[in-house]
Amino acid sequence: MPQVVIAAEPASGEPSSRLRRDSHSTLWTKGFVAKLVLLAMADALGLYGVIAAWAVRSWPILAVLIPALLAVNIVYFSRRLTPAKYLVPGLVFLLVYQVFVILYTGYAAFTNYGDGHNSTKADAVEAILAQSAIRVEGSPALDLAVLRDGDDYFFLVPDGAGGALIGSDGEALKAAPGARLEAGRPVGLDGYDTLSLGDIIAQTAVITAMAVPCSDDPNDGVLKTPDGAVAYAYIPTLLYDEAAGQLTSQADGAVYADSGEGNFISPDGTVLQPGWKTPIGFRNFTSIITEPSLRGPFLGVLAWTFVYAIGTVVLAFAVGLSLALVLNHPSVKFRRLLRSLLILPYAFPAFLSAMVWQGMLNPQFGFVNQVLLGGRWVDWLGEAWLARATVLVVNVWMAFPYMFLICTGAIQSLPAEVEEAARVDGAGWLRTFWNIKLPLLLVSTAPLLISSFSMNFNNFNSIYLLTGGGPLAQPTDKAGATDILISFVYRLAFGGVNRQYGLACAISMLIFIIVAGISALGFKRTKVLEEMN
């Protein structure tokens, strides 16, 4: 018989045991160093965010960022919180990109945030006083050096005592230790680049528009320069009384009081600009219905959004289901090839499809007009109703392959005995489909139809890339013929000269409520179908 040799377990401290310990120690050290480096990078980025948030006194960001940094370090330096190491990254991104965005949108919806109301009251006062400033009669010309640090520009002027002062548009003059002066004229400061005459000429518009506060009190005036070589003192024609919260004109004594709505306003109704961001309650929501200039466009866009979303889902489902039924019949040849060709629009990125269609529908050079219609002029995307129909058709073309796929799978999963039993009972093809197959298909496809409706209700890419929401009847219109709610929100927030972020956020909340309500009703109906099944 063969001999069985049993190796003795090496005693502690023998070479093989030490080798295992040394290998484990080396791997642990490398992993720890890698973790330390990654956490150091994350902490550096987080610390930068904390400093930036502190500089602008953004307390909500600080309240989230500091606990998040502490949690990340505690979790990844702990040996007992292994599951949390996998959950923390997802939770952090969820908080940043979902929870924070939702909360901030909700907050902004109840404010007047927008052009003319995008900063604090103190910033608004400073801007108003700077705009009202006039040159002090007989004020001396101060020698000036214009400095640059990155994208920021600064004034460097003598302080009258052998030193210099430095300041910028948003920063009052302060001492500049170490400033270099030649014959009493400032010429430079370490850490800043001094602009040459050519640089000043190239940036004339920016430099001459600068108003550098003389002190932290906005009533003390500002320094301005007409040429980048000398600066003059300007004082405001309005005086600000911080205790009373009002501005008074030195010319006619008019008083501009805080209206409580983010503006200074006089008794005769004159409003000073800019204003500041402040809570206004439900005014953004009520203005959608009470303001005629907004109510009409909003209701028109709302109606078209429902037509667009429901029409896309119904037509795409009808086309996809019809093709799935046809290609599921055993008498159809080359079914696999045809199915592969039909899903190509789904495999092609949607934004590229929209751009290709936009080019094909160009009235002057597009393939449709030049080739298919023999050079006939048809402005597919320039006429209101034709543009709506065209957008709907293009969106159905991009959506039907998805419906075709899910309907094909649903049809093939139906039990053959059901159809055979219907035939035995004498039911025709149409009655079998309408009374048996379709209800069974809806049980499995209804949730997908609901999600497809939600997606098309907010299908910004298709509208924006095809028509940009247009055409517009008038350039000043608030909404175009093909605008849906989400593109209408984009137009309010970013598309015009008067950007209304608060109003856009309010409409975004309405979109969420509408989609959530319809989805809830749809899923309730789906549950009824399942019970019937």
Q: What is the reported pLDDT for 527?
A: 64
Q: What is the pTM of this model?
A: 0.77
Of the two residues 312 and 46, the one the predictor is more confident about is: 312
Is pLDDT of 10 > 70? no
Of the two residues 436 and 302, the one the predictor is more confident about is: 302
Distances (CA, A) of 60 to 53, 57, 100: 9, 9, 9
* Domain formed by 287-532, architecture: Orthogonal Bundle (1.10)
Residues 33-64 pLDDT 10s: 888 888 888 889 888 888 888 887 777 788 88
- Given a contact cutoff of 8 angstroms between Cβ atoms, the answer to whether 480 and 468 are in contact is yes
Listed in sequence order, the residues at least 6 apart from 271 whose beta carbon sits closer than 8 Å to its beta carbon are 259, 263, 264, 265
Taking residues 308-315, what's their average pLDDT?
94
The answer to which of 5-14, 106-115, 400-409 has the lowest mean pLDDT is 5-14
Residues 413-467 pLDDT 10s: 887 777 777 777 777 777 777 877 888 888 888 888 888 998 999 999 999 999 9
Rounded Cα distance between 256 and 230, Å, is 34
Q: What is the reported pLDDT for 79?
A: 80
Of the two residues 326 and 419, the one the predictor is more confident about is: 326
Q: Would you list the domain boundaries of the chain?
A: 24-108, 121-272, 287-532
The answer to which of 7-16, 107-116, 250-259, 386-395 has the lowest mean pLDDT is 7-16
441: nearest Cα among 328, 520, 331 = 328
Rounded Cα distance between 221 and 215, Å, is 8
Of the two residues 531 and 384, the one the predictor is more confident about is: 384
- Given a contact cutoff of 8 angstroms between Cβ atoms, the answer to whether 211 and 234 are in contact is yes
Is pLDDT of 127 > 90? no
Q: What is the reported pLDDT for 19?
A: 45
Task: Give the distance from CA 432 to its chain's centroid.
Answer: 49
Residues 228-271 pLDDT 10s: 889 998 888 888 888 888 999 887 888 999 988 899 999 888 89
